[in-house]
Amino acid sequence: MVTILFIFWTLSSVFLTLNVFHPLAKRRSSSFFTLLISFALGWLVGDLLPQWILLNSGIALLFSFSDIFSQTLGWAGLVIHLCCWIILIIRLWIILNLPARIDQQLEEQLGSIWQ
């Protein structure tokens, strides 16, 4: 039972990570409610990344008490979670550094008079 829950949590985490990069609800064919849910989940995972990583770490810690990591499936799930976290951290780092890069580009193109 614990293995099934861990697989479900890992797959849902991958689904939510993919939803951040490419919303899985199509604009033309999805209902408003589906678009709203897709947006909200993408926002929660993408913009509240430190909280998402803490939540996932806590859940992984809970699963560790059931010896899920004594199996290969547990370690594979942990590696998948770590890959998702690294990808999301790189995305957050790029987003947080955008204002500095925009200022640098404006200063290179327009000089210091643009401010």
Does residue 114 lie within any of the structural domains? Answer: no
Does residue 96 lie within any of the structural domains? Answer: no
Which pLDDT value is given to residue 109?
A: 76
**Residue in the block written with tokens 């594979």:** 76
Domain span at residue 6 reads 2-88
**Residue in the block written with tokens 């947006």:** 39
Does residue 102 lie within any of the structural domains? Answer: no
Does residue 110 lie within any of the structural domains? Answer: no
**Cβ–Cβ < 8 Å for 2, 64:** no
Does residue 75 lie within any of the structural domains? Answer: yes
Nearest alpha-carbon partner for 19 in 87, 79, 108: 87
pLDDT-derived band of residue 96, with 50, 70 and 90 as boundaries? confident
Nearest alpha-carbon partner for 39 in 57, 53, 25: 25
pTM of the shown model: 0.76
Residue 90 backbone phi and psi in degrees, to 5 = -60, -40
- pLDDT of residue 32 exceeding 60, the answer is yes
Average pLDDT of the chain, as a whole number: 86
Number of domains the chain is built from: 1
